[in-house]
């Protein structure tokens, strides 16, 4: 039973759950990126090259005896889009953290001893 308790403690840690959410979101983002490359970038930018090669899809580009470099190019484009997007997200988060850290903290309220000393000082100033 000790093994199950250890596994439960491990699996329910915040970091593991955050990682699981990150992997799921990453998979969904990968699908969006794949669609962006295949459905938007390829038709708009790469169509002249594909038409010249008598192809409809970038993944159909081959070299020699079936080396599919078009599929490689598609995956490189997807990677570059994901990497650039993550760079922008991390840059934005870091900038917001710097703004939070740069904000000056309010001075702490005086302690009871300091208040008492200020009262004594004010009482001494008020004496003739």
Spans of all domains in the chain: 2-126
- Please name which of 58, 54, 62, 53 lies closest in space to residue 74, comparing C-alpha atoms: 58
**Rounded to an integer, what distance in angstroms lies between the CA atom of residue 19 and that of residue 13?**
10
The tokens of 76 are what? 């490189």
Q: What is the pLDDT of residues 6-19, one digit of tens each?
A: 887 777 776 777 77
**Rounded to an integer, what distance in angstroms lies between the CA atom of residue 16 and that of residue 125?**
63
Tell me the pTM: 0.49
> What b-and-e string marks burial along 15-33, b requiring 16 or more CB atoms within 10 Å of the CB?
eeeeeeeeeeeeeeeeeeb
Report whether 22 contacts 58 (CB < 8 A): no
HSE-CB of 80 using CA atoms within 13 angstroms: 8
Report whether 31 contacts 78 (CB < 8 A): no
Q: What is the pLDDT of residues 23-48, one digit of tens each?
A: 888 888 888 887 887 788 767 777 77
Q: Which residue has the tokens 């708009």?
A: 44
Quote the distance between the C-alpha of residue 70 and its chain's center: 29
Q: What is the pLDDT of residues 57-104, one digit of tens each?
A: 666 667 777 777 777 877 888 788 878 887 888 888 888 877 766 667
CATH of 2-126, one of 1.10.600, 1.10.10, 2.60.60, 1.10.1200: 1.10.1200
């Amino acid at each position: 039973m000790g093994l199950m308790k250890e596994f439960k403690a491990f699996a329910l840690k915040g970091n593991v759950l955050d990682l699981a959410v990150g992997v799921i979101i990453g998979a969904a983002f990968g699908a969006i990126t794949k669609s962006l490359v295949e459905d938007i970038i390829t038709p708009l930018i790469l169509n002249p090259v594909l038409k010249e090669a008598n192809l409809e899809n970038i993944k159909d580009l081959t070299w020699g005896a079936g080396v599919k470099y078009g599929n490689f190019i598609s995956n490189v484009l997807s990677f570059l889009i994901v990497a650039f997007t993550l760079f922008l997200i991390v840059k934005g988060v870091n900038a917001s953290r710097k703004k939070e850290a740069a904000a000056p903290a309010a001075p702490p309220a005086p302690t009871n001893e300091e208040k008492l000393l200020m009262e004594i000082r004010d009482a001494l100033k008020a004496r003739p």
